[in-house]
Amino acid sequence: MYLKKSKRKNGRVYLSVADGYHDPQKGHSRTVSVKKIGYLDDFLDLYDDPVAHFEEEVARMNAEKKAANRHTPVDIDPAETFDGDNCKNLGYAAISRVYHELEIDKFLGSRQRSIGAKYNLNSVMKLLVFSRLLNPGSKKNAYDNRGQFFERFDFTLDDLYRSLTRFNKFREPLQVWMHERIVAGYGRDTSIIYYDVTNYYFEIDEQDNLRRKGVSKEHRPDPIVQMGLFMDNSGLPVAYRLFPGNNNDCTTLLPVLKRIRREFGAGQAIVVADKGMNTAKNAYYLANRRGGYVFSQSVRGGTKELKEYVLGDSGYERYGDGYKRKSRQFTRHAEFEDEFGVTIKAEIAEKQVVFYSRNYDMKAKADRAAAVGKATALINNPDRFNKYNSYGAAKYIKHIEFDKETGEIVKTKSLLEFDKEKLAEDEKYDGYYVIVTSRHNAKDEWIIDTYKELWRIEETFKVTKSELETRPVYVSRDDHIEAHFLTCFVALLIVRLMQKKLGGRHSAAKILDGLANTRCSNLENNLYISHYNDETVRDIGDVFGIDFRKKYRTLSEIKKIIASSKINKSSQ
């Protein structure tokens, strides 16, 4: 509130107490009269300085209002209609805190000056990342719903798309920048790093340089893009890279790893990955570059000697009912062509750990039951199936062929027949797992426990595809696709850091759902009412120093919360 001095047509000055507020409907500031005082000259005989006197009165009123703001009266108009634009998100303040701890604003600000763009790159990045976390959708959807946040995003939709081209140029330096902030502010253990590959399909007819047909995780015929992702020993993403969809998984490891070793200080890291990365070339490089590897090894696809060793009873030690284990030192004979086409032959000292779990045995058979059932249904009704919807079942059917163009089942003279021998062969190895490592002096327990942590990266991919809805991708240019995945990576890193700050007590889904629902709407003038609060949100508020429990807030209080979220407290 303030003392308002209005000069009237009769030349006299009229005093009143006014209050200013931001009208969310009109989009600008407005004033409302709180108290009428009277003409200034009527008080000249009462006070030496009437203006100073009443300014002191207004200051007292402001102090009383501040002390009793929880009892602010509100005028309710029963006929007032509801405007959906009146509702805004406050939960993003916690996300903003982590965003600014990573100093992404500084990274983009330093590059803003060199590109000469009139629009603010940091504002665009914030909108895309915040929207990806709270309301994932297209870039246009993010722009159209920018009003849900308590700050202005002063750029056009065209500016947003132009920014994608800029972000693509910064994608690798930004990953290094965020890594360095995590090392400084959180600490990071890269003595062991985990690697895996997933892919994202595009429902398009024509392939291009990046979107190519390959082996789809969803077993779809559409073009895909491959993503290789590294994760540190605590479950935090380190770096990623996109590859054309027709790249084999095993060829993606070394290009990313060489960059990780060079730019992320992970020169002696042990790489943990599944059997898809277990090639002679990858093993040779890792075994001879100070770090090492822990890979799983396919039993069914292994040598005759390996199968005999795994299935042979000799050497196993039993640990309780339904679990046994053995290990051995082994010399791996590696032969491959390097990038120059030169054949490399080498011997690698490995340790192989083999274990059998009855629980894994039962799970493998349960998982296979669906494929076996589908195989039976296919034999009885082949017209209902093709190459893509018969995945997992076709290998148990004799004489089955698919048309290379259409994927349809080719009708041959030979009748389709269930392959009992193939099923029996697969079942022999159920429950058996082999893990190999170049750390040939490591203990069996360490090797197994280290490999088991690979589930975290698999769960991380699930977060990108479910909570962050990384696909469908609503852009088509290669540089825009790259920028899209960059913003998704930033969003992923932020939610993982939030989980770390929260001590792992809440899943990514619960955190994002709670913050997305932490909204408030304008009641009157500058007063807002909150709509949501749960245990997860309260925990987030306690850790990030934001009182999400409070039901009513003034716009001034909200602005202070948002402003505080932009201060990097970790560097203070």
pLDDT tens digit string along 187-215? 899 999 999 999 999 999 899 999 999 99
Please provide residue 416's backbone torsions phi and psi, each rounded to the nearest 5 degrees.
Answer: -65, 140
Q: Judge whether residue 56 has pLDDT over 60.
A: yes
Q: Judge whether residue 20 has pLDDT over 80.
A: no
Q: Is 200 exposed, middle or buried (0-12, 13-18, 19+ CB in 10 A)?
A: buried
Instruction: Label residue 21 by pLDDT band (50, 70, 90).
Output: low
Q: Can you tell me the mean pLDDT for 494-511? A: 96
pLDDT at 299: 94
Q: Judge whether residue 472 has pLDDT over 50.
A: yes
Q: Can you tell me the mean pLDDT for 94-119? A: 93
pLDDT tens digit string along 443-454? 999 999 999 999
Higher pLDDT, 414 or 279: 279
pLDDT at 567: 84
Average pLDDT of every residue of the chain? 91
Distances (CA, A) of 50 to 54, 56, 58: 6, 10, 12
Strands 270-273 and 292-297: parallel
pLDDT at 83: 58
Distances (CA, A) of 12 to 8, 38, 41: 6, 10, 8
Sequence spans of domains, the chain: 2-67, 297-442
Q: Can you tell me the mean pLDDT for 426-433? A: 95
Q: Judge whether residue 250 has pLDDT over 50.
A: yes
Please provide residue 526's backbone torsions phi and psi, each rounded to the nearest 5 degrees.
Answer: -100, 15
Q: Can you tell me the mean pLDDT for 534-551? A: 94
Q: Can you tell me the mean pLDDT for 308-314? A: 95
pLDDT at 103: 97
Task: Decide: 505 and 232 in contact? Cβ < 8 Å.
Answer: no
Residue 367 and residue 99: Cα distance in Å, rounded? Answer: 41
Task: Decide: 334 and 283 in contact? Cβ < 8 Å.
Answer: yes
Q: Judge whether residue 71 has pLDDT over 70.
A: no
Per the listing, tokens 């919360």 go with 561
Residue 509 and residue 466: Cα distance in Å, rounded? Answer: 9
Q: Can you tell me the mean pLDDT for 463-470? A: 94
Q: Can you tell me the mean pLDDT for 355-376? A: 95
pLDDT at 28: 58
Per the listing, tokens 């690798």 go with 172
pLDDT at 572: 46
Task: Decide: 244 and 212 in contact? Cβ < 8 Å.
Answer: yes
Q: Can you tell me the mean pLDDT for 536-560? A: 93
Maximum distance among all Cα pairs of the chain, rounded to whole angstroms:
116
